[in-house]
Amino acid sequence: MQNIKAVIFDMDGVLIDSEPLWRLAMIKGFNDIGIDFTDEDCRKTTGIRFKEVVKHWFFHHNIRHIEPEELDKNVINHLIELIHAKGMPIDGAPQLLEHLKSHHLPIGLATSSSHALMDAVLTKIQSRHYFKSVVSAEFLKYGKPHPEVFLKCAEELGVDPQHCLVIEDSVNGVISAKAAHMKVVAVPDKEHFDDPRFVLADYKLNSLKDIIKLF
C-alpha cells in the first residue's frame, strides 16, 4: 500500500447495502409494465449502468408500449424511496472512511448509478464530506466495465491511476478498475464470493474491515 495515494469506492454493494433494494425496485418497475421479472433476472446485469440494463431487457422482451426513459425514471424513484426508508451502510464502511481520512488519503466515489441515486445514498449514510470527488457514469460516454468512470475520478482527485486503489464488489467493477491500471480490492457478497473471475483483483477480502489491515 506504500504506493497508494488515493482510494476510490464503488457505491452499490460497497458503501450501502443497496443490491437487495435494487432488485425490489427493478422487479416492481418491470411488473408495473406487465413484464414478469425475477430476482435472478436482476442479478444478470449487476454492475452495469441501469440505462444499459433497461435497453438489454427492452430488447429481450421486445417492449414497445413504454419508453425506456420512463421505466428508468420509475425504477430509480422506487429505489430512492427504498433507500430513504431502508438503506443501511455496508458493515465497516464508516470505519474505513474514517481510517482513510485519518491517513490523509484523498477519497473518491465512482459509480454506475445516476446522480440522483448517488445523492440519495450519500445523504442517507451521511458520508458526502469524506469524498474529494464523486463521479457518476450516468452521462459519461461509457459505463463499467469500461474504465472511464474510474479515470475521471482519478483525474478529479489529481492522482495518477497507477497510484489509486479501488474497492469493488462486482466482477464488472473489477474489470473496469483493472482496465484503468488501478489496484483493486474485491469485497464480494457471500453469494458471489467464489466466482473465479475475482482472480482479476489484487486482493479479495471478506469485509471492508479487512481493508483497514492493509494500511
Query: Where in the sequence numbering do the catalytic residues fall?
Result: 10, 12
Q: Is 114 left (phi over 0), alpha (psi -120 to 50) or beta?
A: beta
Relative to beta strand 133-136, strand 164-168 is: unpaired
> Residue holding cell 435494487?
22
**Measured between alpha carbons, how far is 56 from 35 in angstroms, rounded to an integer?**
14
**C-alpha closest to that of 143 among 106, 100, 173, 102:** 173
Relative to beta strand 164-168, strand 183-186 is: parallel
